[in-house]
Amino acid sequence: MITAVIVGMLATLASGLFLLVPNVPVPSWLTGEAGGWSSMLHGVAALNQFIDVPTGLLVLLAVLASVGAGVLVRLTRMVISHVTGGGGST
């Protein structure tokens, strides 16, 4: 819902910018919200010819897992650095 509002506001802004140039007509895919969504979905479907969706999702999941593991290791090291573990002066 929020994305639809943002896309609608950007489409309105772009339509207004096209109206400033008198010789260029506003594209039909920009004026209709359904046309914009269908063109985006068509682009995603066309991307499936080059990279299949399951492989892309697997790669994205692997990247997110490695970033998550890195953040977890960093947080663990930060917590351990505050604990003396019985050593040092008290």
pLDDT digits over 15-72, tens only?
A: 777 677 667 666 666 666 666 666 666 666 667 677 777 888 899 999 999 999 999 9
Are 1 and 45 found together in one domain?
A: yes
pTM over 0.75, yes/no = no
Name the residue with tokens 């260029």. Answer: 24
Nearest of 17, 11, 16, 47 to residue 29 by alpha carbon: 11
Place of tokens 């772009």: 14
**Same domain for 36 and 76?**
no
Determine, yes or no, domain membership for 89. Answer: no
Range of the domain at 74: 51-83
- Does one domain contain both 7 and 40? yes
In sequence order, the 6+-apart residues with CB closer than 8 A to the CB of 26 are 15, 18, 19
24 and 67 fall within a common domain:
no
